[in-house]
Structure 1
Amino acid sequence: MKNDDMELVRGSGNVFTDFGHPNAGLEQARAIIAAKIISILDDRSLTSREAEKQTGVSHSEFSRIRNAQLRRFTLDRMIGILGKLDEDVEVSVTFRPRQHDIGSPQLL
């Protein structure tokens, strides 16, 4: 394949938005928090069972987080898990109007 055959496409910074997911912001927030939980478990060399003993959170929930099965988790539940892992969490939320493509239907 020649370089001429490739097109450079810049992402939005949120892969879920780029793939057209309707709740992209929520999905990205869950993914970021899950990544932090996984990082803590890895840094402490904790298995799901060991993390359960330390936190009281079911090992199956840690397994779901490790496997990126995040749909069952609310943000507050995931933040609570970070708290049980003895982590302080600071949340910042920014509001801005959604950008709509020309020709896309808009809700009134």
Structure 2
Amino acid sequence: MNKKRITKSSGNVFADMGLPDAEEMSLKAQLVINLQRLMKLHSLTQREVAERVGTDQPSISKILRGNLDLVSVEKLLAWHSALDQEVDITIRDKFSRRANPKNKQGKVSVQACFCPA
């Protein structure tokens, strides 16, 4: 009988794979996924997005296909702003609550709300 070994995910696939800058890569991926959702929601083409954010269509295409090294978190945030999205950054102090003393690293995440106007 062949038993399969299952490893529980940390919630960050990049960290699970042992990649450097895993937290940044995860944040970029979340922002790109959000960009794809915006494009679908507003029926925007890659060319239209490129024009609005000040880049070219091939760059948008590469980033949407996962070439995250081509763009910074700052640039992705600026693109969201250029696409008329409100970007809020919230910092919460979890130090004093110490729910899990073994995990001393914070968490960065993207929460998007596409509410009808």
Equivalent residue, structure 2, for 1:68? 66
Identity of matched residues, %: 24
Cα contact 1:57–1:81 (8 A) shared by 2: no
Equivalent residue, structure 2, for 1:12? 10
Q: Distance between the aligned counterparts of 1:77 and 1:54, measured in 2?
A: 13
Q: Deviations over 1:58-100 (max 9, x none)?
A: 22232122111110211110000001111011224578745xx
Q: Which runs of 5+ in 1 are unaligned?
A: 99-108
**RMSD (Å) for aligned C-alpha atoms:** 2.2
Secondary structure, in 3 states, of the residue corresponding to 2:15?
Answer: helix
Q: Distance between the aligned counterparts of 1:52 and 1:27, measured in 2?
A: 22
Equivalent residue, structure 2, for 1:36? 34
Which shifted more, 24-33 or 61-70? 61-70
User: Which fold has the larger relative contact order, with Cα–Cα distance below 8 Å and residues 6 or more apart in sequence?
Assistant: 2
Q: Distance between the aligned counterparts of 2:52 and 2:74, measured in 1?
A: 19
Shift in alpha-carbon separation, 1:93–1:65, aligned structure 2, 3 A: farther
Give the TM-score of the pair, scaled to structure 1: 0.75
Runs of 4+ in structure 1 deviating by more than 6 angstroms, as ranges, are none
Pairs aligned (count): 96
Give the TM-score of the pair, scaled to structure 2: 0.70
Q: Which has the larger radius of gyration?
A: 1
1:56-95 matched pairs, under 5 angstroms? 56-92=54-90
